[in-house]
């Protein structure tokens, strides 16, 4: 994984003349294509004033989990904790929402705008324990770029 090249590409997408939704979709598509163990990449955002997340753009197999209550699953826990959550093995998690039998691990990084957790990037992998600190730091960078999209 060439982090510098990935960051340059994410920055170029963020600065393109597309709509915010198109930029987020392109980021999902790009990450899924470029990082071989990112099998599903998606954005969830706070659903208005409701205590739930709503699926926005994603790349990968469709999911039935288009709305996730705060506290439920990994994404719902990040909505409350405001902290990164790396799950090396989803079978070891009690509060996990299965998105399919292929998913073995997950990483969720919150997106902050003016200090408020407005959403998150959610990545599933079909490999057990593929995510490193480098993934975490890179995805924090991606989330900062997404938070600045206009």
DSSP character string of 4-34? HHHHHHHHHHHTSSS-HHHHHHHHHHHHHHH
The pLDDT of residue 97 is above 80: no
Q: 48: helix, coil or strand?
A: coil
Residue pair 103/125 in contact (Cβ under 8 Å)? The answer is: yes
> Distance (Å, rounded) from C-alpha 5 to C-alpha 149?
20
Tell the burial category of 5 from Cβ atoms under 10 Å away from its Cβ (0-12, 13-18, 19+).
exposed
Confidence of residue 94 (pLDDT cuts 50, 70, 90): confident
Per-residue model confidence as pLDDT tens digits over 53-93: 999 999 999 999 999 999 999 999 999 999 999 999 988 88
Q: Which residues 6+ apart lie within 8 Å of 55 measured at CB?
A: 42, 43, 44, 63, 65, 66, 67, 68
Q: Name the average pLDDT for the chain.
A: 95
The ranges assigned to domains in the chain are 3-147
How long a stretch of residues is the chain?
A: 150
The CATH number of domain 3-147 is 3.30.450.40: yes
pTM of the model as a whole: 0.95
Tell the burial category of 4 from Cβ atoms under 10 Å away from its Cβ (0-12, 13-18, 19+).
exposed
Q: 127: helix, coil or strand?
A: coil
């Amino acid at each position: 994984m060439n982090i510098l090249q990935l960051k340059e590409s994410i920055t170029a997408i963020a600065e393109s003349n597309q709509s915010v939704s198109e930029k987020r979709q392109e980021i999902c598509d790009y990450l899924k294509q470029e990082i071989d163990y990112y099998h599903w990449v998606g954005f969830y955002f706070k659903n208005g004033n409701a205590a739930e997340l709503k699926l926005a753009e994603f790349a990968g197999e469709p999911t039935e989990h288009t709305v996730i209550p705060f506290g439920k699953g990994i994404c719902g826990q990040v909505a409350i904790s405001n902290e990164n959550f790396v799950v090396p093995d989803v079978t070891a998690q009690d509060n996990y929402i299965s998105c399919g039998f292929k998913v073995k691990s997950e990483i969720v990084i919150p997106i902050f705008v003016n200090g408020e957790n407005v959403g998150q990037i959610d990545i599933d992998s079909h490999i057990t324990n593929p995510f490193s600190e480098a993934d975490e730091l890179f995805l924090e960078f991606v989330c900062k770029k997404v938070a600045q999209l206009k």
